Amino acid sequence: MGLLHTFVAAICMVAILLPPFSIPEGFGKDHSLPHVSPKMERPEFWVHKLQNPTGILLTPDQILKMNNENLDRPGSYLCRVKDLKDEWTREEVLGLLKEDWQGFGETSEVQFGRDGRPLSQFFWKELKENIDEVEIKERIWPRLGLIVKRTNIRVFPTGELSLHSPASVEFDRFQHSMISPGSLVGIFHLSKDRHWAYLQAPFIRGWVPIDALGIAGDKKIAVDYEDAKERLMITGSFVTIFRDPSLQQEAFVAQMGSSFPIIHPPGKDEPAYVVQIPSRERDGLLSLQKGYVSKVKDVHPGLLPFTQANVAVQAFEMLRQPYGWGEMSGGRDCSRLIMDVFATFGIRMPRNSMLQAQVGIEQAQIEGKTIREKKKVLDQVPPLITTLRLPGHIMLYLGKHKGRYYAIHSIWGFQKKGRSGPVLQKVGKVVVSDLSLGEEGLNGSLLERITDIRVIGPPD
């Protein structure tokens, strides 16, 4: 099985993988987590524990070097879209589509759709026809474009769901992720119904609705947009971009880690930054328009300095934001939280937890180690720039308090002991928790299950 075949599974579904369980009464209601006080849900609580929280950890040049190393790592799925080959063969594009189909297409495993019924052979036949492989030419010259609104990037050109069970509607295997407005993409192919475009994004390839895409008549327009040096970084969880200086006509919502070329910074009496935003014309071509962003919103001219204090602020911007598999329903899953936090510093992270755990400096071979041995490693690593990964999940390490070890992460739920066996406690949001979470379940605590500890920062 190729790495892309496990992409969705590795994004992050739950912090504790579950055997069969019963669902407790009150499932889905808000629950406070044990050993977490209100003051621990504020970034300054953790920042005040640090010796030099405002010290620069990596310079922009060091971040660029790290990004280039990660981009060049085989299997990372990170891509310099502007450097895509000018010409592709039919066989190369068919190979990409074949890999998608082998990973997520029709198999002997029953997959359920939106109506709770198994996906039928007729569905798979229609889907295959809509992919429209017969129309792929012997030579393909990918066009470049920009995403013009926050939208889904899907495994296949369909809005249908692929579920393991009729009840698991929150976890759609056809959902790769969401892609942010302003993202540069390379376009390989269109679906037969012309409603979808098959493209390469900076962190994954897949299908997006065609109405979310502005296709550049001249590649240089899209490349120059991405290469613009003076940019406004979105540092809030979500920030609205407007089409008018009075901030009344919404253009789109941008999420943390997105950035836009600055046309004009706000003057003393001006309420907003003027930025350049992509737009789709009626003919589908890209145009660049003026956008307006309130100067009092969570934005920053240029990249944030990479410090522990700034990482803390960024991570806690998303506290209590809803969990969303592949950003479904407007939420974030665990790996998207990590991706968005580090994007504000210019650090490019892969999209799934397994690949994110390959970024940074490995601290020790800890898989299979005892809890005591893992605690010794945690006692040595810097908080707020250390990622903790276990199968299917990733977290940002916050530090130690009163003998307990803490992280911030987006979690669907965890397993706990019930009267008649294991039960699932739903959380469904970004939380602070200590690493003993799940210790009452059959799979053990977060700490027991951690396999990777990585520092995103300097070697020393």
Mean pLDDT, the chain, integer: 91
pLDDT at 48: 98
Q: What is the pLDDT of residues 28-56, one digit of tens each?
A: 344 469 999 999 999 999 999 999 999 99
pLDDT, mean of residues 272-292 = 98
pLDDT reading at 406 higher than 60: yes
pLDDT at 22: 36
pLDDT reading at 16 higher than 80: no
pLDDT at 330: 85
Query: Where does CATH 3.90.1720.10 sit in the chain?
Result: 3-58+306-455
Query: Where does CATH 2.30.30.40 sit in the chain?
Result: 76-223, 228-301
pLDDT at 10: 45
Distance CA 458, CA 387 (A): 14
Phi, psi of 194 (to 5 degrees): 60, 25
pLDDT, mean of residues 385-393 = 96
pLDDT at 459: 66
Selection from 81, 34, 32 nearest residue 182 by Cα: 81
pLDDT, mean of residues 341-367 = 94
pLDDT at 329: 81
State the pLDDT confidence band at 191, using cuts at 50, 70 and 90. Answer: very high
Homologous superfamily (CATH) of 228-301 is SH3 Domains (2.30.30.40)
Q: Is 398 left (phi over 0), alpha (psi -120 to 50) or beta?
A: alpha
**Degrees (nearest 5) of the Cα angle 333, 106, 141?**
75
pLDDT, mean of residues 219-243 = 97
**Degrees (nearest 5) of the Cα angle 443, 446, 447?**
110
pLDDT reading at 13 higher than 50: no
Q: What is the pLDDT of residues 314-325, one digit of tens each?
A: 999 999 999 999
Residue 44 one-letter amino acid: E
pLDDT reading at 113 higher than 80: yes
What dotted CATH number matches 76-223? 2.30.30.40
pLDDT, mean of residues 57-72 = 95
Q: What is the pLDDT of residues 123-149, one digit of tens each?
A: 999 999 999 999 999 999 999 999 999
Over pLDDT 90: what percentage of the chain? 83
Judge contact between 355 and 387, C-beta under 8 A. no
Judge contact between 336 and 10, C-beta under 8 A. no
Homologous superfamily (CATH) of 3-58+306-455 is endopeptidase domain like (from Nostoc punctiforme) (3.90.1720.10)
